[in-house]
């Protein structure tokens, strides 16, 4: 998991810097392993990080991390962005759903990013959730089954 997180931060460092956004790996549980398609997991995380940067104001921070929660490995992305209205939070993972069509013109995108995240999570036997408060930011958490720690010794 730490390699996937570090790749995402490296890949978006320039974009974050150009927008004066601090991008950091906040926390990763040591030895956290998953049996997953690395490219798919990286794509899901990239969509979350890209959105966090796009919807944050200059000077804000975006942090990513990973932690074990019981038998699940959870990746999270937290931003200090514009937030998502409560009425839209259930629908943002639908294909082509846009919270605000006027805003989507200025930020670009197809409306598929969060649908891809949900698909990757489901494909790996997991899920994705969002907690958000308008004007304060969002926390996206993608959880999939964790691999047994014994796999790392084989």
pLDDT per position as a tens digit, 84-117 = 888 887 877 677 666 664 444 445 555 678 989 9
Confidence of residue 153 (pLDDT cuts 50, 70, 90): very low
Residues 6+ apart with CB under 8 A from 68: 29, 32, 74, 146
* Other beta carbons less than 10 A from residue 89's beta carbon: 16
Task: Enumerate helices (H) and strands (E) in the chain, giving the number of each.
Answer: 4, 5
* pLDDT attached to residue 96: 63
d(CA 137, CA 129): 14
DSSP 147: P
pTM: 0.86
Contact 151, 33 (CB under 8 A): yes
Parallel, antiparallel or unpaired: strands 61-69 and 22-28: parallel
- Strands of the 22-28 sheet, one edge to the other: 22-28, 61-69, 72-79, 137-145, 127-133
**pLDDT given at position 113:** 81
Q: What is the pLDDT of residues 27-78, one digit of tens each?
A: 888 788 888 888 999 999 999 999 999 999 999 999 999 999 999 999 999 9
Residue 57: strand, helix, or coil:
coil
Q: What local confidence, expressed as pLDDT, does residue 101 receive?
A: 47
* pLDDT over 50 at 127, yes or no: yes
Joined tokens for residue 55? 């919807």
**Looking up tokens 């639908």, which residue turns up?**
94
Domain borders along the chain are: 2-153
From residue 63, give the alpha-carbon distance in Å to each of 11, 48, 100, 104, 142: 14, 11, 24, 23, 14
The CATH class, in words, for 2-153 is alpha beta
pLDDT of residue 98: 62
What pLDDT score was predicted for residue 63? 95
Q: How confident is the model at residue 79 (pLDDT cuts 50, 70, 90)?
A: very high
Distance CA(78)–CA(76), nearest Å, equals 7
The confidence score (pLDDT) of residue 30 equals: 79
150: pLDDT strictly greater than 70 = no
């Amino acid at each position: 998991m730490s390699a996937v997180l570090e790749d995402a931060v490296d890949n978006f460092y320039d974009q974050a810097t150009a927008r004066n956004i601090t991008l950091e790996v906040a926390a990763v549980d040591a030895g956290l392993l998953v049996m997953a398609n690395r490219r798919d997991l990286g794509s899901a995380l990239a969509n979350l990080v890209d959105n966090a940067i796009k919807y944050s104001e200059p000077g804000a921070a975006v942090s990513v991390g990973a932690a074990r929660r019981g038998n699940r490995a959870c990746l999270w992305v937290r931003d200090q962005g514009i937030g998502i209205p409560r009425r839209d939070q259930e629908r943002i993972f639908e294909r082509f759903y846009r919270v605000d069509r006027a805003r989507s013109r200025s930020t670009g995108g197809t409306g598929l990013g969060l649908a891809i995240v949900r698909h990757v999570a489901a494909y790996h036997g997991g899920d994705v959730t969002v907690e958000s408060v308008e004007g304060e930011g969002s926390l996206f958490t993608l959880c999939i089954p964790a691999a047994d720690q014994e796999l790392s010794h084989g």
